[in-house]
Amino acid sequence: MNDRCCKQAFGLTDVVVSAKEERGRCEICHGPMKVQKTYRHEGRTLRHGVFEVCETVYVCAGRCHHPVGTLVTQRSLSVSQTIMPNCNAGYDLMVFVGRQRLLEHRQREEIMAALNDDYGIRISAGEVSDLAMRFSQYFLRLHYAKADRIRKILENDGGWPMHIDASGENGRGTLFVVMAGWRKWVLGAWKIATEKAELILPCLRDTVERFGPPCAGMRDLGRAVTPALNDLVSELGLEIPVLACHQHFLADIGKDLLNSDHCALRDLFRRTKVQADIKRLIREFGGKIGLQIDDARQTVIAWQEMEDHTYQLPPGKNGIAVVRALSQWVIDYHADASGLDFPFDRPYFDFFNRCMIGSKAIDAFLRIPSDDRKVTGALKRLGRILTKVACEVPFRHIIKRLQRRAELFDELRDQLRTAKKLPENETVADIDLMRKRFYDWTASLKERRPKRGPAQDMRDAIDIILKHIDVHGEHLWGHVITLPENAPSRMRLVSRTNEIIENFFGTIKHGERRRSGRKNLTHDFERLPAEAALVYNLNQPDYVSAVCGSIDRLPLAFAQLDKEEARRKEKGLPSQKMSNLDKILQLSTSSLSSADRHVVRTENMNQRIIKAARSRAPRVAC
């Protein structure tokens, strides 16, 4: 009874809405229309809740037919603009579910609860998934239907830089995206079987056909996107700069320079068990402090804030707490990271530096030992662990070589001005100055290269950098784009990195982890429709204004799509032009795609192979 009252309060439950509009005229003979049928069906919308509608359908009295052979009929306009065809859900209900699922990354149970609590509408978990999928498909149709308008906007901007990239999870569910860099609009998204040039090129062609040629191309250094973008530019026959991402360029050099030594340093730390021994010591000290751990933490804070900077540690458990905190500081080397990952962050090099600093600090504290012998003993135990790092010869050799190469890499990074966050509001003069300094530094690097002698490692390091510059140097510059005379400005800069689309993929994965609660997104990315990437355009107000005016008018825009599609079918015209790349993009070039797993991972397949393996097949005479 309570549920029934709630539904009646929210909507029109137990109320039959009559949808009998004024009869129009036949669009072919312009004669009168008569009633063909009147029928009841359910409707569910956010605006009206759950209701029943009695809809009257009219038919031409002269029995006129459309070119495809169907009778000329007239449905209620208010119903067709509210409820989707062959469905009892309203357009606004689908938009709500789709946005909650694909943009807000809500779980199905959360969406079901919100609909029930706020609108008195109950739907199943399966309906949530179905409506979300419908929403992504409708949005793809709307995106393509407004392609001409989007193309005009991009042309008025003076063009658009094409940012391209692909991402997946453990080699599966690869999502390829084309983005207009200045507007940050996703122009195209496809699921491809694997990242290969022959699969990427058709996607680029489709984007250019719909939205016009780009004024520049930005890519990473991948073996698939590089030839695909080069082939596209050759086909277009235009002078379009193809730019390599500075961040990926640096990462590629950094890995070649530092990876072997950094891995050797990691293996050496594991072999000497420095971190494991320190953690064991920390657990032991925590056990000695026991239930007084909160008081011990306050003591450490007070010790940090002491103004006299005394080197003598306090006695008792307070001293043990300080030694414990010092041990924790040593293994907290990840705090020195910038968040850009290797090779920009070098965690084991940071660990080595903390071990060395910690060892020197312990020497200072031991010069004026604590009055408590147990505290002094604990400090000496930590010192003996860190001594393995300070005195081991292999550590010295690896660190010396790693430090020398890291300094070279950091020099290159300074020349390209790539910190954790790129400089804002760069100008044409900034780019020109940066390019000049980069070329000057490259020339000086050639002069610094040792010709002979024992400096073999320095020669190798410099050769690695120069080789990358020779291969990718021509694609590092060209970010200044001269715009047509009708553009808002005469020149505009293309971003020096591909972080726009990299951050976009990061946002998608963050949202999918929020929705699924899983760290590994292999299954989720396989099930995620490519159209979900386009839905993120709803976060861009200028895009929303271009395709539908406002978010509130999005259901009406979808209804208009269905109306126009029905008109085309009645007249025998082809449907709206959609992408026909699905079969091409899902070529079975991957080792075990999800489609193949449905075929291979079956009991019949197991039985068939086992039966063949256990039998003696007859030999056929040749």
> Where would I find the H helices in 340-451?
347-367, 373-391, 393-416, 428-448
**What does the pLDDT read at residue 580?**
67
**What does the pLDDT read at residue 311?**
78
The answer to whether 155 and 164 are in contact (CB under 8 A) is no
The answer to whether 225 and 178 are in contact (CB under 8 A) is no
- Of all residues in the chain, the percent with pLDDT exceeding 90 is 55
Report residue 13's pLDDT band, with 50, 70 and 90 as the boundaries: low
- Provide the mean pLDDT of the chain: 88
DSSP 3-state assignment of 297? helix
Q: Provide mean pLDDT across the span 375-394.
A: 90
**What does the pLDDT read at residue 485?**
79
The answer to whether 211 and 154 are in contact (CB under 8 A) is yes
**What does the pLDDT read at residue 278?**
95
CA angle, residues 143, 145, 146, in degrees to nearest 5: 70
pTM of the model: 0.85
Q: Hunting for tokens 């604590």 — which residue is that?
A: 370
pLDDT tens profile 71-83: 888 887 778 888 8
Omega of the bond prior to 343 within 30 degrees of 0, cis? yes
**What does the pLDDT read at residue 1?**
38
- Beta-carbon contacts of 538 under 8 Å, excluding residues fewer than 6 positions away, are 99, 103, 544, 551, 554
pLDDT tens profile 351-371: 999 999 999 999 988 988 888
pLDDT tens profile 546-582: 999 999 999 999 999 988 888 888 777 777 666 667 6
**What does the pLDDT read at residue 592?**
64
**What does the pLDDT read at residue 58?**
84
pLDDT tens profile 16-71: 666 667 788 888 888 888 888 887 878 899 988 888 888 888 888 888 988 888 88
Q: Calculate the alpha carbon distances from 504 to 103, 117, 260 in Å.
A: 12, 33, 31
3 state SS for 319-332? HHHHHHHHHHHHHC
Q: Calculate the alpha carbon distances from 432 to 232, 242, 479 in Å.
A: 28, 18, 10
Q: Provide mean pLDDT across the span 329-341.
A: 90
Number of Cβ atoms within 10 Å of the Cβ of 160:
25
| Pairwise pLDDT comparison (616 vs 140), residue with the higher score | 140
**What does the pLDDT read at residue 12?**
55
Q: Provide mean pLDDT across the span 218-222.
A: 92
CA 310 from centre of chain: 50
Number of Cβ atoms within 10 Å of the Cβ of 342:
17
Q: Provide mean pLDDT across the span 267-272.
A: 94
Q: Provide mean pLDDT across the span 441-455.
A: 87
Report residue 495's pLDDT band, with 50, 70 and 90 as the boundaries: very high
